[in-house]
Amino acid sequence: MLWVDKYRPRTLDKIIVHEEIAQNLKKLVSEQDCPHLLFYGPPGSGKKTLIMALLKQMFGPGAEKVKLENKPWKIDAGSRTIELELTTLSSTHHIELNPSDAGFQDRYIIQEIIKDMAKIRPLDAKGKRSFKVLVLNQVDKLSKEAQHSLRRTMEKYSASCRLILCCNSSSRVTEAIRSRCLNMRVSAPTPEQIVKVLEFIGKKENLQLPPGFTARIAAQSNRSLRRAILSFETCRVQQYPFTANQAISPLDWEQYVSEIASDIMKEQSPKRLFLVRGKLYELLVNCIPPEIILKKLLSELLKKLDSELKHEVCHWAAYYEHKMRQGQKAIFHIEAFVAKFMSIYKSFLIATFG
């Protein structure tokens, strides 16, 4: 088992990083009722850990006995029938799913499937909680139509169902949904908190840690606890005993983006743009989020640029990221940014060197 799962806190009492949030959630549960909740914060901050610990606090060990299902659905959409396959993770008390996986058909999931799930009123073993919990991931990626449908579902079935929503950015969740939830901001852990967790894992694994080693991992983790723990385990596999100057390997996809940035800087031509497109497709096929690709690519390009170009390049990166969030095909917008960058950089080279 990976350390990131092996040492994941299972109860609210064992939460190390967000103790204040954990205590607030404990108070909520003790009141025998719970409002709709919206957890938001950057990836790797601990949102899912808090949600799973909350479910265990609510329903006991039964919340951990989950099964994974791929269930086909047929939805009548007036003149046509839409067939969808939905992956759900469920226990007797809750169901977890990612409705944004359906893309532009996400509103049908909200309108039909979640409505059907919300109608059923369960009773736990003690008979105290007469509601089911639906955990919806990546609600910030839902279309506006799906979010409007979700708002109606929250209102209509609040007696038999509680929603726990999880997302990276609350700004992309409509005000109507945010106002109907208790908002829980889960901030990225500080480097000191990450070091504390890594040292705890090191102690449990009986590892000898050189001075400053965990601090270097924390510094390279970009304040993502998940990434820090995975890097720590990777270092353990690559070389043990640890050494004070041991290299901490970057992620494979980050190295790949760095190579793409070097390709762009070496040559600005349609042929090179075509080559870069293929590499971008490779990243997207391997499930690297397009927003993360664009952000990392911008970061790598800025390292190689003159200061007078940085402002303009950042402007166009923001422009194409906004366009990407509005559209469906991320590759078009990332490629458009690369083409724009090539145009700006080539014009700068010609003006400078003739």
pLDDT per residue as tens digits for the range 50-72? 988 888 888 888 878 888 888 77
Q: Cα–Cα–Cα angle for 3, 287, 74, nearest 5°?
A: 110
Residues in the chain, total? 354
- Work out the mean pLDDT of the chain and round it to a whole number: 83
pLDDT tens digits for 141-172? 888 888 888 888 788 777 778 888 999 888 88
- DSSP characters for 279-318? HHHHHHHTT--HHHHHHHHHHHHHHTS-HHHHHHHHHHHH
- Per residue in 82-93, is it b (16+ CB within 10 Å) or e — as a string? eebebebebbeb
Task: State pTM to two decimals.
Answer: 0.78
CA distance 165 to 100: 12
Question: What is the arithmetic mean of pLDDT over 227-240?
Answer: 85
Q: Give the pLDDT confidence score for residue 125 in this predicted structure.
A: 44
